[in-house]
Chains A and B, each alone.
Chain A
Amino acid sequence: MYFRQLFLISCLTALVASLGFSLYQWYLVNPIIFAAELFELAEPIDLTATEHGLEQTESWAPDDGIERSLYTLLANFLMSLAYSLLLGCAVVFRGPSSTLKGLTWGMAAYLSVFIAPGLGLAPEIPGMEAADLSQRQNWWLLTVSLTSIGLAVLAFSPRYYKGAGLILMLLPHLIGAPAPEIHGFSHSDPEAVAMLTGLWHQFILQTSIANALLWFIIGCSTGFLCHKFIDAVPPLQPTKLNKA
């Protein structure tokens, strides 16, 4: 009963959140990605590589335009669904929910899923030099886990242990994010590098706003719907049936 309710709540939330997020992304984030990709394409292609294995190396990708936008919308929906499921579990586990509680959880999630890993690994546009992918993914997972556990300790533990929460949140930054040998853009033209750096700064600003919007909608909607469809419906208890 909890599972079914949570799943339906998350589907509804994901529908609203992915539409809001996709609209913002479509007007203010995607143009930056597309502009950066133009620079990526303009770079000289290694001919020896393309002659040998174009068929093998080029895998399927959605066509630019409506197809690509639809796949992005689908990916946004699935991601919002996953986020809303996880947030809903946390809210319901802690007891009765409300819109305000959902919003608080949403903002905590924004801090631990976007801001904290972003401090070490800033959002990147295509074409940037970056460290090894699996190392970055590991650091990302470590940071998100430790920040969320740290925030939970800060919020729910007795006063004496709150310091431990702060230490947990600081730990991944003391370890340090994996950094590439040269950070920035490998483009040979200095003018292009200047333009790409400008795009990158815009991208960091716009993704910060877009993700805040995403978590705002997910938080409020999950909290509100959990209150309406989980708190309001008493769980089936055999004792009540016996009494009747």
Chain B
Amino acid sequence: MNVNNPASLEQSVPVALTKNIQLLAAAALGFVILFGVGFAPMDLAHNAAHDTRHSVAFPCH
């Protein structure tokens, strides 16, 4: 981001903000998927992802 340019100074704040919001959204999606694969307590999710959970050492059973 070009902070030295006074014309872009006004715009730089919203751009940085939307960047962080988008990063947060992407991280939230990552957490939701990770929970589904690694931690969801339903038997269905556990059985489908069983070998993956064991191989990456998630607490299982």
Contact = CB atoms under 8 A, between A and B. Distances in A.
Interface in B4-46: 5, 7-8, 10-11, 15, 18-20, 22-27, 29-34, 36-39, 43-44
B60 interface: yes
- Secondary structure of the B contact surface, majority rule: helix
Interface residues on A, range: 35 or more
A35 to B, nearest CB: 13
A125 B61 CA distance: 10
Nearest to A18: B52
B55 A2 contact: no
A4 to B, nearest CB: 9
Given A82-B37, A86-B30, A239-B7, A114 B22 contact: no
A29 B55 contact: yes
B24 to A, nearest CB: 8
Interface string A121-159: 111111000100100110010000000000000000000
A85 B7 contact: no
A15 to B, nearest CB: 15
B59 A133 contact: yes
A interface: dominant SS:
helix
B30 A3 contact: no
A3 B59 contact: no
A102 to B, nearest CB: 15
A239 B49 contact: no
B3 interface: no
A2 B36 contact: no
A12 interface: no
Q: Which of B7, B43, B55, B60 has most chain A Cβ within 10 Å?
A: B55
A64 B28 CA distance: 33
9 contacts: A7-B26, A10-B30, A30-B55, A59-B44, A75-B37, A75-B49, A79-B49, A124-B54, A239-B8
Given A86-B30, A126-B61, 14 more contacts: A2-B22, A25-B51, A29-B55, A60-B43, A60-B44, A81-B33, A83-B34, A117-B57, A118-B57, A124-B54, A124-B61, A125-B54, A137-B59, A207-B55
The 5 residue pairs across chains A and B that have the minimum distance between CB atoms:
A85-B30, A136-B59, A75-B49, A61-B47, A123-B57
Interface of A: 1-3, 6-7, 10, 21, 25, 29-30, 33, 59-62, 68, 71-72, 74-76, 78-79, 81-86, 88-89, 92-93, 113-114, 117-118, 121-126, 130, 133, 136-137, 140, 207, 210-211, 214, 235, 237-239, 242-243
